[in-house]
Structure 1
């Protein structure tokens, strides 16, 4: 039986979203995230406690939210993952690294290779690249396969998150406002589902700078240093 701490709630889901308050679609996606969590947990339960691939309950919840946020991104056409695959395609000649993409791969829609990439990416970020996980690990493939079944079932009926989409709609005035653009770029690069680990790294760097400034007697300059 799942305890309250083992389920995903609104607070868990909101950490990957830039807006305040709730969106009308949040309940749907939180419910979906818990289905994804159950699929992840089923694979993780089969692993020994000492298995280097195993992640704990908190990490399972994070991964479930990330994969569901990817699904929400595709459904809502906010274009976060599509931008990543487009840029990767321009640089390296294919939308994704590692995987051989066949005719079933459809840009802009949900794809099992993208889900598996995100599972691998999460594990790599979780360990700050210290453990060189293979992107084709059987556990990653199993999670991707089971989660993809859930996504395919929901794909035609899933609602768009208009509130999230609106966040990226920049009017003419905002397009010339550096601070408005900076806020969006900062969220995208440090708090979105694709780059949220950057936020933790940025916090660590800011704390280190603050400590160094204190030791050097430069307390008054801490805010400017952290902001930079």
Structure 2
């Protein structure tokens, strides 16, 4: 296997000059790569992917040794969400688990995560109990257990995060740490490639006008920093930093960071330091104060109160709002106002739909139908929806039943796949044998059902047959799924209840 050089390792560090500590961890990465090389030798995975896994495992080891707190934040949050320090652990394993040290369970989970990420591109789900992961985890653990006694702390890395208190004017310094975390930490294994692929895809699009691709790439990057959730825990990187820094007084401001998505803001006035704008995304939009030194004021030279609109992303840091990413300036027009009103009405309509559905169904979130006609009858007769309101339903196959579902977040959903896997006294199509084989799809496949409705099915205990294929038998596979269902759902849907339910 090709050797990992210091230059490659340095691309993951928040500083540029190498020292003896970096050279030590490069040695660790190469040793781990040698333990993983059989995976590349058998041609299951490209060599560069296996080398990447070795680097990411070494970044994890560096974090544990240097006490930068990334893994500690993960295990604390896992315990809070899922009941275990690390997903897939058993109660007996947890009794022997030592936070702040190297554990084989950590390595087994991370190996599953990294190789599952590679398999996800082919829509495959790997069993976390695969003996290959356990064998590799113990090989690496035996090596790192010895290194744990002599491994040096990366004091420069620790100092970047906690060496000096973050003050209210240190937004750019904070954003630098945020960018390092998003693209270089071991919890965001997919982020680098995703950014490159997105920029490449966008650069090939025809926008019909002259657009600076560098500015577009910059905006894509900032969007990823504040909205991307393709990582362990399915949180934004800003929310991750809040978890990591909460035990350090130097990073107290990280917990207060709040990012708003790209929205439209109406200019209403200013003073020497701030521009005052109204949030148009809400019916009763609040007035926000944006720091002028975060704005391109040249693009706002012709600003007019009550007329000029700023389309941008805002980030709250140090008690003030900062504009980040691309800024588009325009004037308030009737067409724009109509678009804003429609978006507000759509959000309000979802909650109204939920309330009407629950009333019509007698308080049931799931309505089981035997035919397309029953679906139409419920929608038109009980809910009073008419064709003229624009409700167009696709052609439905009722061979395995149909389920109408409702959510206060996503509205009405017509479930046409795998309905026989849903266990309910109301579901005459329920088939226990089919459910054993396919009910897990509601938990593992985001293309089957919206996230919040998957959670609702689980909470209602309508997926009791969901099962992982296990060499230890069907019952064990079902128990493993039941114990880890919430983690699996968050992981594969890239969402979490704290934000999405």
Query: TM-score band (shorter)?
Result: 0.7 to 0.9
Q: How does 1:1-228 map to 2 (within 5 A)?
A: 6-41=2-37, 43-44=38-39, 48-49=42-43, 54-100=44-90, 101-129=93-121, 130-169=123-162, 171-174=164-167, 176-212=169-205, 215-228=206-219
Q: Which has the higher helix share?
A: 1
Cα 1:174–1:210 shift into 2, 3 Å: farther
> If you compute each CA radius of gyration, which structure gives the higher value, 1 or 2?
2
Which structure has the highest strand share of the two?
2
For normalisation by structure 1, the TM-score amounts to 0.84
Work out the CA distance in 2 between the residues paired with 1:184 and 1:126.
27
- How many residues align structurally? 216
1:25: Cα distance to partner? 0.5
| 1:166-203 Cα deviation digits (max 9, x unpaired) | 12126345554222212211221222122132121122
**Which whole-Å CA distance do the structure 2 matches of 1:26 and 1:196 have between them?**
20
Alpha carbons 2:114, 2:189 under 8 Å: kept: no
For the residues of structure 2 that align with 1:77 and 1:209, how far apart are their CA atoms? 39
Q: Whole-Å Cα distance in 2 between the matches of residues 73 and 147 of structure 1?
A: 16
- Partner Cα separation in structure 2 for residue 106 and residue 98 of structure 1: 16
Render the CA deviation track for 1:22-48: whole Å, top value 9, x for unaligned.
Answer: 13301211122222122222x437x75
Runs of 5+ in structure 2 lacking a partner? 220-501
**CA distance 1:20–1:175, change in 2 (3 Å):** farther
TM-score (norm 2): 0.40
For residue 219 of structure 1, give the secondary structure of its aligned residue in structure 2.
Answer: coil
Q: Contact (CA 8 Å) 2:111, 2:133: kept in 1 or not?
A: yes
Instruction: Measure how far apart 1:211 and its partner are.
Output: 2.8
